[in-house]
Structure 1
Amino acid sequence: MRIFLDDTIIAPATKVSKQAISIIRLSGRDAFNIVNKILKKDLDISNAQQLRKIYDNNQMIDEALFITFANSKSFTGENVVEINCHGGVLVCNKIINLLIKNGARAAQKGEFSQRAFLNGKINLLQSESINNLIESKNELALKISALGVSGIKDKKILKIKDQIIDVISRIQTSIDYPDYDDIEGSTPEEILITLKKIKDCFTNIIENSKRAIKVNDGIKTLIIGEPNVGKSSLLNALLNEEKAIVTDIEGTTRDFVEGQINFENFSLNLIDTAGIRKTKDPIEKIGIQKSLNNIDYADLILFVVNNENINKEILNKIKNKNYIIVVNKEDLLTKEQIKNIFSLNENIIFVSAINNQITNLTNRLKEMWDNEDLLNSDLPILTSIESIANLERALNLTNTSIENLEIGFDFDIVNVDLYKTLEIINNLLGIIDMDEEVIDNIFRKYCLGK
């Protein structure tokens, strides 16, 4: 059921700046009427491209191309007029102010997408993907978000929902009509099989979704090592910029220096840390302790060394993490030294950061974090932490249902948790009434004009 809101909203759909073309978008029941007030020839109420001159009283302001959407054929499900005007700041703001004066209201962030959701044009998973599409930092994140916007993979979660409804119905029938004990698929053993399949689907969706979020948000990558081994040089080489100060003086880096590098299928959030050594300098001590503390929170550790003396204490601290030992200053090592270092650990890569020779490392990173398989899965990918947390709740409830069935609890106890699971799935899709403040909060993280 479409919900047409009373007011008509307006916002720039492109940045208001000096450029060739700016786009202004209106959405609402009165979009055509409001725009016609600044034209001498009314727009046809149709899905078309129409050229018109814009006036303030009798003074022409601009000539623009109007793209019009009528009869719910727009993204928002309402009448929409998009004005492609000349891209001067003054021109764009003048047209917006004229339209506000004639009855439009300035849109809030994400309000166009919110109306599309409220009018049944997209579901909540698709709306979240729209924002992630805009915020994509690498090619794979872009592709994942584009699939989410299309809703192609949502069929799987709708199928899971149907399975939950079917199990609830079978259980409820068994409770209400105990004499009908021959209903197909209604024995505890048969229901257990279905619930375990649902559990596996939930588990895989959660795992893929967490990986997808990491793809875009970035893999927290800690660069650690002793002083003067080339940690800052490695950071600069990876970022291809002079982000960190590089000197021969030990202890130059005393706090974190950060940067981000975007590969095709993932992003790295790089953190260069203070060189780990024994020191009496109180400020340097704080930096070193912060370096050690952050090992626990890192997704990947680049442990930089420049000779055969690999600090065993540091290696012991990172042994249970994803790590690469990066042997820097390869150009200064003899063949015998390289051979000896190779024999010390299988996770070793040789580079020369100062000479920008880091291909071995970037190739290893691509091997470690190739997430292309996410595109091939038929499972939906949740693109927000909140949605993943909700699905984890559904998974926990499904696990409880399975455990209760295996213990031999009555069907009515099992059904209580299944009803809660169904409610969570409905909330994920946004297909039941949700609190107005919750809906507002979801869409306000979007950019203006979307």
Structure 2
Amino acid sequence: MGINVIDTIVAPATNISTQAIALIRISGDDAFKIFNQIASKPVPHKGGIYLRKLYEQDQLVDEVVVNAYVAPRSFTGENVIEIACHGGVLNTNRIIKLILNNGARMALKGEFSQRSFLNNKINLIQAEGINDLIHATNDLALKIGVDNMSGAHNKAILDLKARVMDIISRIQVLIDYPEYDDVEGSSNQELIDALININILVNNLLTRSQMASKSIEGIKTAIVGKTNVGKSSLLNALISEDKAIVTDVHGTTRDIVEGVINLSGVTLNLIDTAGIRQTKDVVELIGIKKSKDYLNQAELVLFVVDYQQLNDLENIEIFNLLKNKNYILIVNKADQLNDQQQNEIIQKHPDAIFTSALKDDINQLINKIKEKYNNDELLKSDELILININQINLIEQIKLKLETALNNINNYLPVDIINIDLYDAWGLLGELTGEQIEDEIIDNIFRKYCLGK
């Protein structure tokens, strides 16, 4: 069941906490009417900034600054009153309660953005961009959120839709008027060429989006190695906090410790695993088994060793497990090595990097990770990138439909068969912008947003 857009809604637009200023937003037909019932002097029905005192019956509640917007010139497309009041949990909640008591209802999560979408102020890509911007974890996510929120790339989807509809129209002419077999652009080869060009555009969009999504969602990264080589110290240095216990006792990390690091354009989901060694300790054996499981599942492995134990049996076993894995060999405690020892390692392992985790000297590792996951092109890109999993799923479906259409026309199937897949692709492109999507799905999309947005 869809939301009731007739109601006037209210919600805090900032977190309710002890702070200098809090922002409360009212949106709906009765926004001015409801506010004026608690204001010392009515706010006129026109846009502007006003200073007003708020009262509960005859008792002064607060003196606030009001930003007024008249429909349709507001974010939601409705009458909007934004109240900047003095912060504080009690004061903010009291003003919200006053507004509720005078006819508003509490907004649902994301309802302001949802109303903006329903009132054609933004499309679904812009709405998702707002959410991406709010929840951005690195520079790449921030850039994509800003670009999509602003509508900078709306034309890219509209252009794809126009291209698909152009081919549909050409084919439809051939179906309806078979005697006109010389319509410009409607020869078999011309239709194939047009479909190839669209497939290239969609494939490029999907590739960019998948790369960006993975970098933002986080690369599953396991820190593995023997006991006491400094894995937990490395985790702590990377996430800049003492999240893992660091001691000189072998087998300290018996379970799994996790952390997250954001490096401009890439996020790593770090897992510090139990040290791998020969042991009869039952609990530690369970941790070691988990370590090997996480190593197998990881998309990137940070393999930590020290010079003295580099060729131990346990390290040889780990090297064997890493044969087909994406990994970085990290020689820790590098401050204890001389130049000759470092050169010996480089001769055998040219890609090895050196760290001193306890001294927070991990620059070589940071640079190696950035080099491995270089997202400079994505950060500089002025093309559409989508990072929401549902959006990427839609692009994958569009790609499949367009590829099927291309294969069918190459195999000389009847043109009306080809148009079935093209119509499906066109409809899926409409779902990306929200033009063709069910109310229930719209409700679910916006419920993941922040309250007051």
Normalised by the length of structure 1, the TM-score is 0.95
Is the CA contact (8 Å cut-off) linking 2:168 and 2:422 kept in structure 1?
yes
Return the letter of the residue paired with 2:203.
T
Cα distance change on mapping 1:262 and 1:222 into 2, 3 Å: same
Residue 107 (structure 2) pairs with residue 107 (structure 1): yes
In structure 1, C-alpha distance between the alignment counterparts of 2:369 and 2:35, rounded to whole Å: 53
1:395-447 residue CA offsets vs partner (Å, 9 max, x unmatched): 01111111111111111111111111111110111013x22211111000011
Q: 1:446 aligns with which of 422, 446, 449?
A: 449
1:333 deviates by: 2.3
Is the CA contact (8 Å cut-off) linking 2:22 and 2:85 kept in structure 1?
yes
Is the CA contact (8 Å cut-off) linking 1:13 and 1:23 kept in structure 2?
yes
1:77-114 residue CA offsets vs partner (Å, 9 max, x unmatched): 11100011111322211211111111101001000000
Return the letter of the residue paired with 2:371.
E
Residue 157 (structure 2) pairs with residue 157 (structure 1): yes
Match of 1:364 in 2: 368
Structure 1: 5+ residue runs without aligned partners? none
Return the letter of the residue paired with 1:82.
E
Match of 2:49 in 1: 49
In structure 1, C-alpha distance between the alignment counterparts of 2:16 and 2:81, rounded to whole Å: 18
In structure 2, C-alpha distance between the alignment counterparts of 1:40 and 1:328, rounded to whole Å: 68
Is the CA contact (8 Å cut-off) linking 2:77 and 2:119 kept in structure 1?
yes
Q: 2:389 aligns with which of 382, 385, 393?
A: 385
In structure 1, C-alpha distance between the alignment counterparts of 2:200 and 2:282, rounded to whole Å: 51
In structure 2, C-alpha distance between the alignment counterparts of 1:406 and 1:443, rounded to whole Å: 41
1:138-197 residue CA offsets vs partner (Å, 9 max, x unmatched): 223212211110111121121011000001111111111111111111122111111112
Cα distance change on mapping 1:173 and 1:296 into 2, 3 Å: farther
In structure 2, C-alpha distance between the alignment counterparts of 1:421 and 1:289, rounded to whole Å: 46
In structure 2, C-alpha distance between the alignment counterparts of 1:292 and 1:199, rounded to whole Å: 41
Task: Judge which range, 369-378 or 355-364, deviates more.
Answer: 369-378
The two structures, once aligned, show a CA RMSD in angstroms of 1.7
Aligned partner of residue 66 in structure 2, secondary structure: strand
In structure 1, C-alpha distance between the alignment counterparts of 2:403 and 2:383, rounded to whole Å: 20
In structure 2, C-alpha distance between the alignment counterparts of 1:61 and 1:386, rounded to whole Å: 45
In structure 2, C-alpha distance between the alignment counterparts of 1:354 and 1:341, rounded to whole Å: 21
Is the CA contact (8 Å cut-off) linking 1:4 and 1:28 kept in structure 2?
no
Return the letter of the residue paired with 2:236.
N
Is the CA contact (8 Å cut-off) linking 2:68 and 2:80 kept in structure 1?
yes
Match of 2:93 in 1: 93
In structure 2, C-alpha distance between the alignment counterparts of 1:18 and 1:325, rounded to whole Å: 47
Is the CA contact (8 Å cut-off) linking 1:56 and 1:98 kept in structure 2?
yes
Within 5 Å, give how 1:54-65 maps onto structure 2.
54-65=54-65
Is the CA contact (8 Å cut-off) linking 1:110 and 1:447 kept in structure 2?
yes
1:291 deviates by: 1.7
Task: Judge which range, 237-246 or 175-184, deviates more.
Answer: 237-246
1:278 deviates by: 3.2
Cα distance change on mapping 1:77 and 1:4 into 2, 3 Å: farther
In structure 1, C-alpha distance between the alignment counterparts of 2:349 and 2:202, rounded to whole Å: 38
Match of 2:319 in 1: 315
Return the letter of the residue paired with 1:103.
G
Is the CA contact (8 Å cut-off) linking 2:30 and 2:79 kept in structure 1?
yes
Cα distance change on mapping 1:4 and 1:378 into 2, 3 Å: farther
Match of 1:182 in 2: 182
Residue 427 (structure 2) pairs with residue 395 (structure 1): no
Aligned partner of residue 20 in structure 2, secondary structure: strand
Cα distance change on mapping 1:378 and 1:294 into 2, 3 Å: same
Match of 1:265 in 2: 265
1:294-313 residue CA offsets vs partner (Å, 9 max, x unmatched): 23432221111112427333
- Runs of 4+ that moved beyond 6 A: none
Normalised by the length of structure 2, the TM-score is 0.95
Match of 1:430 in 2: 434
Is the CA contact (8 Å cut-off) linking 1:28 and 1:78 kept in structure 2?
yes
